[in-house]
Each structure stands twice: as C-alpha cells, then as structure tokens.
Amino acid sequence: MYIVTGGAGFIGSAVVWSLNDQGEDDIIVVDNLGRSEKWKNLVNRKYTDYIHRSEFLDRLESGVFNNIEAIIHMGACSSTTERDADFLADNNFHYSVRLASFAVQNHIRFINASSAATYGDGKNGFEDSDDALNSLKPMNMYGYSKHLFDLWADRNKVLNRLASLKFFNVFGPNEYHKKDQCSVILKAYHQIKKTGRVQLFKSYREIYPHGGQRRDFVYVKDCVSVIQWLLEHPDINGIFNVGTGIDRSWNALASSVFSAMNVEENIEYIDMPEQLKDRYQYYTRAKTDKLAEAGCTIACRSLEKAVADYVQHYLMAEDIYL
C-alpha cells in the first residue's frame, strides 16, 4: 500500500499518476477536497480510498493500515501569501512531524515535500547539505513552515531515515486549481489566448532587466520521476533539491509559451504589488550535485521542451489532467 497525502493536489496527483503508470493502484489518497475542483485530478486515477486529512492521522496511528510500502507526503498549504502563521505551523509543520515520526518508528519509506522557498532571497546559496540548514532565512511563512520540518528532522537525527525534497518552480498538468498560485506558464497561456500578450513584473534591482529575474523552472513529470527513483532506492535519504540546475529568465519562459502556441511574442511589464516587493525571489537555481552523487540519473527536460509538452499536449488539447 502507498499513502499519498495531498493526493488530489498538483504534485500529489502526479505522484498517483506515476504510481498507476507503474501498475500500482493500492493507494490511499489523503486530502481536503472541500468545495475545490481538485477532485477532477482523481477522475483518471486508480486508488483504494480517499480519506480527509483531519481523520487520517488518528486512523494511521491506530494501526488500521497494514503493509504500508511508503508514505509520500505532498500535502500542505502551498500559498506563499498565506498570512495565518498558526495555521501554517499546524498544517505544514506539526502534521508533517506526526506523520514522519510514525513512518520512522515503523520503518516505512517517507518522502516529504519541502520547498525552495526555504532558501529565502538566496543570499546564503542553494546548497542542500545538512550543514547549510541553520543559515537559511525564508522570506515568507510558507517557506518557514517547510524549513521548520527540515530543522526538526536534523535536530532529531532522522534525516538519514527519510527524504525531504526542496522543489523549485514546478509547473505542469493538474495545477489549474491553484488559481493565483499556479505557474506563470498557465497564466501566460490564458493571457495570450485572451489578449495576445503576456504580463511580467518589472524589476526593481538594477542587475536584472524587466523580465530578467531568473528562476529554476522544473516540469512536474520530472519531479515525480525523481520521487519514483527514491521509492526504488529506499536507502537514499536526506535533503535534496529537485530542479533542473539551470536558471532561466521570465522572458525566456514567456517566449517558450509564445513559441509553443505559435503566436508572435508580445510582453508587457507591469508594476509589482507592494506586498511582494520585499519578499520577491529574484534568483533561484537548484544545486543538484547531491542527488546526482547519490546515483539519480533523471535528466530534466529543457524549459522549451517541457513548456511545449504542457501547452500543446494538455492546455491546447483542452485536456488539463494527467
């Protein structure tokens, strides 16, 4: 049995897709569907049961589940603008600690979703070594809630018994429900369809031109390939960056969408909201040596190839689900 928390969400539902592709369907999906449209991510998937997140931990700890192969913990509030710090501490940190503690105590493979948001403005680099943990200063509460879990795992000496993955800028099918938190690729596609242009934020640092802010954009299919590799190698543990290892500009991203849609490029630069100016990451790039040295040979797609697959095979085909 596999347990996937956040299993109806963006990366979580892609994990279920990947497991199904490997012939696995004995899967428990844990999530909080509420009135959202996330349920649509499960329509094409095969799984044993769906359990609400509020009920799941008590049932897990009571011992009702047998033969658990792995727990893939993708469930969290992923909004970088969420202001309720108590909610994030409870939902993203304490919940994760209980789940990880159960997995470690019962010798169950545990894979956790951390985030590149833990790196803050990047001044202290993007090094995924254990030694770098205490130097990181996240810029928002979401990043801090993820950082708290990694600190807990380090402090309690269980990093060698679980894998915590720092995802960089992930995009791809099944993200439609994230609304304002969805990728710029999805936003750009709809902007181009509606207006023929893409809006990008202006830069407020001289070293970056407008649209020249740089990020490590990684395709969700490549992310779940890494997760699948880790499931096949349960002896590989620790904190790992998950990204391409290459930084690209927002201008390059927009150009990739225009190209995939076969539309002439037209970019408009707009003011950044005041509340984002002091919390905006101008540069991210995953340092991927540690994962490679562990033996992972997953080759991430280039930005252009990933965007073309997403746009042409999903968005333009009006089939937005894996």
Instruction: List active site positions.
Output: 142, 178
Distance CA 141, CA 317 (A): 37
Q: How many CB atoms lie within 10 A of CB 156?
A: 13
The Cα diameter of the chain in Å comes to 58
Q: No. of H helices and E strands in the chain?
A: 11, 13
Query: SS3 of 130, please?
Result: helix
H-helix or E-strand containing 57? helix 53-61
- Single-letter amino acid code for the residue at 166: K
CA distance 129 to 239: 7
Of residues 78, 61, 82, 74, the one with CA closest to residue 29: 74
Report the alpha-carbon distance of residue 171 to residue 300 in Å, rounded: 13
Which of 177, 188, 165 is closest to 110 using CA atoms? 165
Bridge partners (DSSP) of residue 49 are 28
